[in-house]
Amino acid sequence: MRRSLVTLSVLLALAGSVAARPATAPPLPDRMADTGGGTQLITAEGSTTGTVTWWNLRRGTWVKGGSTPARFGAKGLAEGVSRKQGTNTTPTGLYDLPYAFGIKPAPAGTVHPYRRVNARSWWCQDNAARAYNRWVEPRPGDCRAGEAEHLIDYPTQYARALVIGFNYERPVRGRGAGIFLHVNGRGATAGCVSVPAAAMDRILDWVNPVRRPHIAIGTRSGPTAITRY
């Protein structure tokens, strides 16, 4: 009888422990308002620093492919639809990934469109230029050098990168230009998302245009929470 009571006590204790264990939270993409409709997703969550995670949709379930520490704009994150150019903020929202580029060759296994940088490659950020928020080669006369990035001048950051489709399809003047996922520099970015070089290579080896990849950028909570996008 005593042994039976001890066994029952142990079983009850174990049951209570299991019942008290919190339920596992669903993966982040399942808690988002939209994931873009594809089967690949990058989430960039944080403030001035945070985490970039890449996900695969497999048989209806989002599975983490990898993650890495990330950096954002020096002034944190700002709502993408109302962001102002030159504010050193990273725009929140859900965006496509038009193509990749880099000073270095694409990593082996890259299938995403990849454009090599050369001495004539610029990204125009001049609000008065026809090619606002576009790669230009060479730089046109209406895009002032002081309002454009000479891509080859950033051998660390633009060794390899992905264009983030913020304000890209139909650019709104003054909202911002040249927002990329690129390799870490010395500190916070001017509005991009950056990751270590090895992580950037892994992402480029993983991303596939056939799977309609997107990137979601947001904070962990509040009005710019990543789950809103």
When pLDDT is cut at 50, 70 and 90, the band that residue 13 belongs to is very low
Peptide bond into 138 cis (omega under 30): yes
What mean pLDDT is predicted for residues 178-206?
A: 98
User: Which pLDDT does position 8 carry in this prediction?
Assistant: 42
User: Which pLDDT does position 159 carry in this prediction?
Assistant: 98
Average pLDDT score over the chain: 93
User: CA–CA separation, 34 vs 155, rounded Å?
Assistant: 34
Bigger pLDDT: 212 vs 25? 212
Residue 50 has pLDDT above 80, yes or no: yes
Give the 3-state secondary structure percentages of the chain, helix then strand then coil, rounded to 5.
20, 30, 45
Q: Give the chain's radius of gyration (CA, Å).
A: 22
Residue 18 has pLDDT above 80, yes or no: no
User: CA–CA separation, 48 vs 89, rounded Å?
Assistant: 9
pTM of the prediction?
A: 0.90
Residue 208 has pLDDT above 90, yes or no: yes
What mean pLDDT is predicted for residues 43-67?
A: 98
Residue 75 has pLDDT above 90, yes or no: yes
When pLDDT is cut at 50, 70 and 90, the band that residue 22 belongs to is low
CB atoms within 10 A of CB 210: 10
Bigger pLDDT: 11 vs 229? 229
Residue 126 has pLDDT above 50, yes or no: yes
Residue 86 has pLDDT above 50, yes or no: yes
What mean pLDDT is predicted for residues 94-114?
A: 97
At residue 20, the 3 state secondary structure works out as helix
When pLDDT is cut at 50, 70 and 90, the band that residue 11 belongs to is very low
User: Which pLDDT does position 228 carry in this prediction?
Assistant: 97
pLDDT tens, 132-151? 999 999 999 999 999 999 99
When pLDDT is cut at 50, 70 and 90, the band that residue 3 belongs to is very low
When pLDDT is cut at 50, 70 and 90, the band that residue 206 belongs to is very high
Bigger pLDDT: 10 vs 135? 135
Which three-class secondary structure string do you get for 24-93?
CCCCHHHHCCCCCCCCEEEEEEECCEEEEEEEEEECCEEEEEEEEEEECECCCEEEHHHCCCCCCCEEEE
User: Which pLDDT does position 23 carry in this prediction?
Assistant: 67
